[in-house]
Amino acid sequence: MIKNIFIMKSTGELIFYKTYEDIFNIKLTSSFLSAIFSFVKQTLRTKELSEIEVGPFRFIFEIEKANSSELMFALFSDRTDNLVELRNQLKEIKSQFLDKFDLNLLTDNFDGEVSKYLEFEDNIHEIMERSKKLISKEIQKDLIEVFQELHTFSSFVISSALLTQTGRIIVSYLDTNVLSEIIRLLESRFIIGNSRIHELISLEDYGILSLVGIDNFISIIQFKKNCPFESAMIISKKFSTRLKKLII
């Protein structure tokens, strides 16, 4: 989940931030982000700062050139959160912020007064809420019942999940490391333009993994290694058919 949102000058002045989970000092973090950007720009000779992973967390950046300086928009989230979805949200945050406020007052004419930007929290709330409305609470409840039935139906089933084709988590019982690998797979496919999975089954170190596309969604089942491939495919197709009736 998203833990923090930052809007700041690349020189370190914090303009706006939104905290969902208070896990570190905001001012120290803004100084850290400014130092990272300065390092990338001066040492690597580039202003292309995209994302940084730190342990189980991830910073995602959007940079806006503004006269003689830059504005930095950053999200801090769990590493398992979907990069494509977060990138779209951050771009929308940047777009709405630049539409709402005068860029000149944030750069060369910046007076340090940031209280005027507090009202942008309403925009943040709207963007975040809009991104959540994929599945209603009623459907979510029905989905969970189907997942629970799956887990009692076959002794071969280890875990399962329902994601969007871009990797947003709808329901997941997968181990964090397995989920992270799947999301990375979806992100990499999306980046190269192969954004749809129809059917994919593979043998991994942690068992047999089956992915079945359901329009904009993907049903996922992790089976034990000794599960016959034919059984895995049959169970996966029946499971995805049941989910399809609920979400399509």
CA distance linking residue 192 with residue 214, whole number of Å: 21
Domain containing residue 193: 137-247
* 141 lies in the same domain as 45: no
* 6 lies in the same domain as 70: yes
CA distance linking residue 27 with residue 6, whole number of Å: 11
**Of 167, 7, 171, whose CA–CA distance to 84 is shortest?**
167
* 198 lies in the same domain as 96: no
* 127 lies in the same domain as 151: no
Query: The dihedral of CA 165, 171, 174, 177: what is its sign?
Result: positive
* 61 lies in the same domain as 167: no
Among the candidates 71, 103, 132, a domain finishes at: 132
CA distance linking residue 159 with residue 45, whole number of Å: 45
Task: Count the domains in the chain.
Answer: 2
* 89 lies in the same domain as 124: yes
Among the candidates 80, 97, 132, a domain finishes at: 132
The DSSP result for 20-36, as a single string, is SS--S-HHHHHHHHHHH
Q: What is the CATH number of the domain that holds 210?
A: 3.30.450.30
pLDDT value at residue 57: 85
Residue the block writes with tokens 């940084």 = 52
* 31 lies in the same domain as 95: yes
* 205 lies in the same domain as 149: yes
* 9 lies in the same domain as 118: yes
161 in Cβ contact with 143 (< 8 Å): no
Among the candidates 132, 158, 178, a domain finishes at: 132
Q: What are phi and psi of 45, to 5 degrees?
A: 60, 45
* Residues 6 or more apart in contact with residue 177 via CB below 8 angstroms: 206
Token couple for 229: 């491939």
pLDDT digits (tens, 9 = 90+) for 199-215: 999 999 999 999 999 99
Q: What is the CATH number of the domain that holds 81?
A: 3.30.450.70
Residue 92 parent element (H or E): helix 83-100
pLDDT in tens, the chain (248 residues): 788 898 888 777 888 988 888 777 777 777 777 787 777 666 655 556 677 887 888 888 888 887 767 888 988 888 877 777 788 889 899 999 999 988 777 776 677 788 888 999 999 999 888 776 678 888 999 999 999 999 998 999 999 999 988 788 899 999 989 998 888 888 777 767 776 889 999 999 999 999 999 998 999 999 999 999 999 999 999 999 999 999 98
Token couple for 247: 């979400």
